[in-house]
């Protein structure tokens, strides 16, 4: 490489050579780079003045001018710039928050029947409700509320364990529930298990063996099994304990509906009776606000076509 520029001047090098002849130029840094560097230094100094910056002992310089004002209990509070105060302000006076709050308050102040007869409020609750449902409920009940048989109940059908009136649904979401049925594997003999299983299937007209049904009925409706205690004498279920209605064709734990032959149906029902049930619908009061629970109630109520 040439050691000279066009002018014939010798270019300055760092002065040392590696491997005999490898040298390094010592050119000044490009002008634009240098000026950018000075600009960042000036920017930093301006930043120190306006924003929280330098630590001093147990505190720090809060910066001037970039202050944030929000309200606590009717009193205005002004603080130096920080993201938490920014958030409080955004929640109090931000455009989106104010708009949403207006709708939220409308819903909060209205009765369920008023909400359900006002298309605008239904529209609002189905939009917000959908987002809330997907964030909080879909993991168990599925995106569309269809549930998972055996694990999480279907919310789209009009069969309810704990009641399908708006007040029932609101209470379910707010307080949560435990679906509990004891295991009967130690209580029943093999034959008794067969009998009571057959009786359960007979309730929805799917039994094949009349004798077993008759013996099972005694167990179900008497002290032998005591099933009636939770499912009542007819097997239609009791809402206050969240027991399933056994007389319809909707199954929430025992996956009977998708089974074709009687043997498979018996196996499914038998499994539930011998293992029992213990599943939890979490409590949402505290995690979600009262308004959010109300919106979800309307959303879930409408999922099943309002029944």
Partner 1 sequence: MRHEKIETNVGLLIVLTLIVISIGGLIEIVPLFFIDETIEQVQTPDGKDAIRPYSALETRGRDIYIREGCYLCHSQMIRPFRDEILRYGHYSLAAESQYDHPFQWGSKRTGPDLARVGGKYSNEWHKQHLMAPRSVMPDSIMPNYPWLQENSLAYNDIASRMKALRLVGVPYSLTDAEYEKNIERFGKGIADQLNIHAAEDNLVAQADQGNYDGDQSRLTEMDALVAYLQVLGTMVDFKQYEEGHFAEFR
**Residues forming beta bridges with residue 281, ordered by sequence position:** 177
Distance, in Å, from the CA atom of 182 to the CA atom of 217, rounded to the nearest integer, reads 19
Q: Which residues, numbered 227-256, are part of the site for partner 1 (CB under 8 A)?
A: none
| Shortest reach from residue 79's CB to partner 1, in Å | 7
Q: Per-residue string for binding with ligand HEC, 174-193, x by CB under 6 A?
A: ---x-xxxx-x---------
DSSP letter (8 states) at residue 239: G
- From partner 1, ligand HEC, none, interface partner of 179 (C-beta below 5 to 8 A by class): ligand HEC
**Apex 160 CA angle, 272 and 286, nearest 5:** 100
- Contact between residue 283 and residue 175 where contact means Cβ atoms under 8 Å apart: yes
| Residue corresponding to tokens 């069969």 | 159
Q: What is the DSSP secondary-structure string of 33-51?
A: HHHHHHHHHHHHHHHHHHS
Q: Is 241 in the site for ligand HEC (CB under 6 A)?
A: yes
Of 88, 115, 141, 291, the one binding ligand HEC by CB under 6 A:
141
Beta strands in the chain (DSSP E): 55-56, 59-60, 67-72, 75-80, 177-181, 277-281
Q: Give CA separation, 290 vs 35, 108, 168, 285, 286, in Å.
A: 57, 8, 15, 7, 8
| Shortest reach from residue 232's CB to partner 1, in Å | 27
Of 7, 14, 40, 111, the one binding partner 1 by CB under 8 A:
14
| Shortest reach from residue 121's CB to ligand HEC, in Å | 18
| Shortest reach from residue 83's CB to ligand HEC, in Å | 23
| Shortest reach from residue 17's CB to ligand HEC, in Å | 54
Which SS3 state, helix, strand or coil, does residue 148 take? strand
What are the structure tokens assigned to 201, written together? 């299937």
| Shortest reach from residue 191's CB to partner 1, in Å | 28
Of 104, 107, 115, 200, the one binding ligand HEC by CB under 6 A:
200
Q: Is 301 in the site for ligand HEC (CB under 6 A)?
A: no
Q: Is 60 in the site for partner 1 (CB under 8 A)?
A: yes
Q: Is 279 in the site for partner 1 (CB under 8 A)?
A: yes
Distance, in Å, from the CA atom of 179 to the CA atom of 162, rounded to the nearest integer, reads 10
List residues near partner 1 by CB under 8 A: 14-16, 55, 57-60, 70, 72-73, 77, 79, 82-88, 90-92, 94, 96-97, 135-136, 138-140, 148, 151-152, 278-283, 286-287
């Amino acid at each position: 490489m040439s050691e000279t520029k066009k002018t014939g001047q010798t270019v300055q090098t760092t002065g040392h050579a590696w491997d005999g002849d490898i040298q390094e130029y010592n050119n000044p840094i490009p002008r634009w780079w240098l000026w950018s560097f000075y600009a960042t230094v000036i920017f930093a100094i301006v930043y120190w003045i306006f924003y929280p910056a330098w630590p001093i002992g147990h505190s720090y310089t809060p910066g001037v001018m970039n202050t944030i004002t929000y309200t606590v209990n009717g009193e205005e509070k002004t603080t130096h710039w920080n993201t938490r105060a920014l958030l409080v302000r955004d929640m109090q006076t931000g455009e989106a928050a104010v708009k949403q709050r207006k709708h939220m308050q409308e819903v909060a102040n209205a009765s369920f029947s008023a909400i359900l007869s006002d298309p605008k409020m239904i529209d609002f609750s189905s939009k917000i409700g959908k987002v809330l449902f997907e964030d909080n409920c879909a993991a168990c009940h599925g995106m569309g509320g269809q549930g998972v048989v055996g694990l999480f109940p279907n919310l789209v059908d009009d069969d309810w364990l704990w009641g399908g009136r708006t007040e029932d649904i609101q209470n379910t979401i707010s307080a949560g529930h435990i679906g509990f049925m004891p295991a009967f594997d130690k209580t029943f003999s093999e034959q008794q298990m067969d009998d009571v299983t057959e009786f359960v299937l007979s309730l929805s007209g799917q039994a094949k063996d009349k004798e077993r049904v008759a013996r099972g009925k005694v167990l179900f409706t008497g002290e032998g099994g005591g099933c009636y205690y939770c499912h009542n004498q007819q097997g239609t279920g009791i809402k206050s304990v969240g027991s399933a209605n056994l007389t319809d064709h909707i199954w929430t734990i025992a996956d009977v509906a998708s089974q074709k032959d009687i043997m498979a149906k018996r196996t499914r029902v038998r499994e539930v009776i011998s293992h029992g049930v213990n599943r939890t619908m979490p409590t949402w009061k505290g995690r979600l606000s009262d308004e959010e629970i109300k919106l979800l109630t309307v959303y879930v109520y409408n999922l099943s076509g309002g029944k």
